[in-house]
Amino acid sequence: MRRNAGLFVAISLLSGFGSSAMSLVAGIWILDLSGSTSLAALAGLCVYAPVLAGPWLGGLLDRAPRRPLVIAVNLMLAAALLALLAVRGPGQTWLIFAVSCAYGVSYVLIDAGETALLPSALAPTELGDVNGWRSSAQEGMKLVAPLAGAGLYAWRGGHAVAVLSAAMPALVATLYAFLRLNRTPTDRRTERGGGPRTGLVVLFGQRATRLPVVLAAVSIAMSGFTTAGIYAIVVTELRLPTTFLGVLASAQGTGSLLGGLIVGRLIAARGAGAVGVAGTALFAIGCLARCLPWWPATVVGAVVAGVGLPWTLVAAVTAVQTHTPSALLGRVSATANTAMFGPLVVAIPLGAAAVHLGARPPLVAAAAICLTAVVVATSRRRSAPHDEAATVPPPRGTVGAGPAGR
């Protein structure tokens, strides 16, 4: 099991490095080719938009062998990135958008596939720890990879970054092949059909998964909603240079890295629901701290928010892995990703509009929404203390399923 845990962390390091480096460089490359900041921003939208198709894409992981599918997706992503070598001028800008869309689709399939593979590779008691370590690895790469990607782009251009980024999923595919998927989950009798609705019913039909996923969705949406407000706090209220945003990003990344290292133990001790509540509350406190007219408080707020966000995300992912029938893990995981990250598509532009009311109102509103979610979740936990262990019964007409992840 320790061998598999190390492989999953290495996979997160490599994939986090490649995606973080390329996501920044794609926007810079489009800006250099077209001179349009709006076109450059659309590269990010291309990456996030496919998450809305998660319930449909996730069904592929329940109909095909999961490990071969995840390996194939990584290899196809590597090939798509190498297609960027054909970019020579503004006429090939569309190719960068196409590869960004390919990245988005691969994120949905790989994230859901990895979530579905973990229970076949690890004991249930290890899931929280390994999910936390993976989160820390990814956050650590967010501190290093953008700088490395931008530096390589400035030195050798976009083609060099494309080759480096293509090497990452190729290596990841190799690591997946070395996983030992010897563990058979206890719940093997469930229906593989049913379409996207099945994922929704399983995900939201039991409190054990519904509560952490909703809390994570609220926190992640509010992180997007407050982006413009944080920019305005730094530039307008604190009158600091825009480069200070990099300090805040590093502070939040540091908090996320540290939070990921301990979240597994908290989930084992208190449960995913309690950790989701705590993470949402911490994110709210971080938002309020960043409203204070003192830059050290803003930095501390970024660290606190950075701890809270991965707690909500890891709690939700671990709950899905623990309480979902194995044969449905692909579509339920992808549906959970849609529920958690899909609202960003709306929250980011709403936050950009709300900042016209002032720098602080978006952060105060985000804190109020998060704390309301905490109060509601806490009151319902008290009214239904035994629901945390509930599981969804198998649907009618169940059939035996073969080994998952093979």
For 238-294, write each residue's pLDDT tens digit.
887 766 776 777 788 888 888 888 888 898 888 889 999 999 999 999 999 999 988
pLDDT at 400 over 70: no
- Amino acid letter, 145: A
Neighbour-count burial of 336, counting CB atoms closer than 10 A to its CB (0-12 exposed, 13-18 middle, 19+ buried): buried
Answer yes or no: are the C-beta atoms of 176 and 74 closer than 8 Å.
yes
Hey, how many other C-beta atoms are within 10 angstroms of the C-beta on 325? 25
More confident residue, 387 or 338: 338
* 184-203 per-position pLDDT tens digit: 444 444 444 556 677 778 88
Answer yes or no: are the C-beta atoms of 183 and 243 closer than 8 Å.
no
Q: Which tokens go with 16?
A: 């986090």
Smallest CA-to-CA distance from 347 within 225, 216, 226, 220 is with: 225
In whole angstroms, what is the distance from residue 125 CA to residue 404 CA? 19
Phi/psi for 400 (5° steps) reads: -65, 140
pLDDT at 381: 65
In whole angstroms, what is the distance from residue 333 CA to residue 112 CA? 5
Hey, how many other C-beta atoms are within 10 angstroms of the C-beta on 163? 16
Supply the DSSP symbol for 357: G
Strands, E assignment, 99-247: none
Alpha helices in 271-294 (DSSP H): 272-289
* 89-118 per-position pLDDT tens digit: 898 999 999 998 998 888 888 887 887 788
**Three-state secondary structure call for residue 403:** coil
**Measuring CA to CA, how many Å separate 383 from each of 205, 213, 215, 378, 386?**
17, 19, 18, 9, 9
Answer yes or no: are the C-beta atoms of 201 and 140 closer than 8 Å.
no
Share of the chain above pLDDT 70, in %: 88
pLDDT at 1: 56
Strand-pair partners of 40 = none
Answer yes or no: are the C-beta atoms of 367 and 160 closer than 8 Å.
no
pLDDT at 396 over 50: no
* 114-142 per-position pLDDT tens digit: 877 888 888 877 888 888 888 888 877 87
Alpha helices in 157-206 (DSSP H): 158-177, 196-204
Supply the DSSP symbol for 74: H
